[in-house]
Amino acid sequence: MAGGLALGSLVPGLNDVLDGLKVGTVSLPIALGLLAMMYPVLTKVRYEDLGRMRGDGRFFAVSLVLSWVVGPALMFTLAWLLLADQPEYRTGVIVVGLARCIAMVLVWNDLAGGDNERAAVLVIFNAIFQVVAYALLGWFYLDALPDLLGLDNQGFHAGIWEVGRTTLIFLGIPLTAGYLTRRWGLRAHGREWFEATVIPKIAPITLYGLLFTIVLLFAIQGDTITTKPLTVARIALPLLGYFAGMWILGFLVGRAMHLGYPKTATLAFTVASNDFELAIAVAVGVWGASSGQALAGVVGPSSKSPSS
C-alpha cells in the first residue's frame, strides 16, 4: 500500500502509461497480475474431494444458504445504509459481498482448529458456483433489487454480460488452468507429490501477483486515498460489519445445530470470508482501475485481514 502511494506520487504519468496498455476498461499489466494471483490458489483446491459432500447434507446446506443468500443480502443492506450517498463505493462493497472465499478461508480455518476437509469441499463448491452464479447475483443486487425497492442507483448499473464476461476471464481461465494442472499432477505422480513439490513452487506467484496488483491500484488511487481518508474509513465500515455479523451468525447457527467446535468454526469462517481477488478483478474489469468500485475492492483486504 505504501509502495503504491509512493509510486503514484513519484511517477505522475503512470496512469497515462497504464491507459495506453488498456483492452476495454482493463489495463493489461493489472490483468496479468490478477490472473497470476488467482491461478496458484485454484491449483490448491482439492476438486477430487467433491464427492465427500455426501452424508453431511445438513451442514453443507446451511453453509451454502448463509454464504449465497444471507451474506449477499447483508452486504447489500450495509452498503445502502452506510454508503447511500456514495454510489461507486456502495457498488464496490456489494461486489465484494457477492464473492465467496476460495483460498484464505482455508488458512483461517486451519489456524482456528476447524474441520479442514469440510472447508476444502466448500471451497470447491464456491469456486465452481461463482463461475455460474456470480454474474446473475451481480445483476440482481446491483440492478434488479434496487429497482424493485425503488432505490436511486444514480446511474450506476452493471449488465449481467459485463459481470459475467469479467468473471469468466478472471475466474474461469485460472480455474480451468488450476484444475488441469492439478489433474495432470495427480495422474502423473499422485497427490502427495503434487502438493509437496508443485504447490510450494507456484504458491508464491499468488503473493507476487497480489502485491503487484495492489501496488498498481494504490498508485492509481493514491490521490483519493491520501486526500479522502474518511471516505476510505467509510468504505471499511460495512466490510467490517459484514465480517463480524456473518462470523457471529455462522458460529451461533453451528452451536444451535450442535455441530461441535471444528464444524462450527468452519461454518463461521466460510460464511464470513470473501474472495477479494475476484471482487477486485470484476471491479477493474467492469468499471476500470481508477474507479470508486475498484477502490472499495482494494480497501477490502486491508480492512478485513486484521479482523480475521
Per the CB < 8 A criterion, the answer to whether 96 and 302 are in contact is no
Query: Closest by alpha carbon to 217, among 302, 294, 283?
Result: 294
Cβ of 8: how many Cβ atoms within 10 Å? 22
Query: Closest by alpha carbon to 279, among 140, 124, 89?
Result: 89
Where do we find the cell 493514491?
222
Indicate if the pLDDT at residue 306 is higher than 50.
no
Indicate if the pLDDT at residue 227 is higher than 80.
no
Give the Cα separation of 145 and 98 in Å (integer): 14
The SS3 call for residue 153 is: coil
Give the Cα separation of 298 and 284 in Å (integer): 10
What is the per-residue pLDDT for 281?
Answer: 74
DSSP string, 224-263: HHHH-HHHHHHHHHHHHHHHHHHHHHHHHHHHHTT--HHH
Give the Cα separation of 4 and 221 in Å (integer): 9
Query: In angstroms, how far is CA 72 from the centroid of its own chain?
Result: 12
Mean pLDDT of the residues in the chain: 80
User: If you average pLDDT over each of 4-18, 193-207, 210-224, which comes out highest?
Assistant: 193-207
What is the length of the chain? 308
Q: Which domain holds residue 236?
A: 2-304
CA dihedral over 16, 286, 228, 101, signed as positive or negative: negative
Instruction: Look at the chain and report how many structural domains it folds into.
Output: 1
The SS3 call for residue 100 is: strand
User: CATH no. for residue 107?
Assistant: 1.20.1530.20
The SS3 call for residue 274 is: strand
Which residues sit opposite 97 in a β-bridge? Answer: none
Q: Which residue has the higher pLDDT, 60 or 12?
A: 60
- Over its C-alpha atoms, the chain yields an Rg (Å, rounded) of 19
The SS3 call for residue 198 is: helix
Mean predicted confidence (pLDDT) in 142-165: 73
Backbone angles phi, psi at 228, to 5 degrees: -130, 60
Give the Cα separation of 69 and 61 in Å (integer): 11
Please give the DSSP secondary-structure letter assigned to residue 113: T
pLDDT bucket at 50, cuts 50 / 70 / 90: low
Which residues sit opposite 100 in a β-bridge? Answer: 274
Cβ of 193: how many Cβ atoms within 10 Å? 12
Give the Cα separation of 256 and 252 in Å (integer): 6
Per the CB < 8 A criterion, the answer to whether 117 and 269 are in contact is no
Task: List b or e across 233-254, with b for residues whose CB sees 16 or more CB atoms inside 10 angstroms.
Answer: ebbbbbbebbbebbbebbbebb
Q: Which residue has the higher pLDDT, 7 or 259?
A: 259
Lowest mean pLDDT among 25-29, 86-90, 172-176, 243-247: 25-29
User: If you average pLDDT over each of 46-55, 96-105, 237-246, which comes out highest?
Assistant: 237-246
What is the per-residue pLDDT for 11?
Answer: 77
Query: Closest by alpha carbon to 274, among 295, 305, 231?
Result: 305
What is the per-residue pLDDT for 76?
Answer: 94
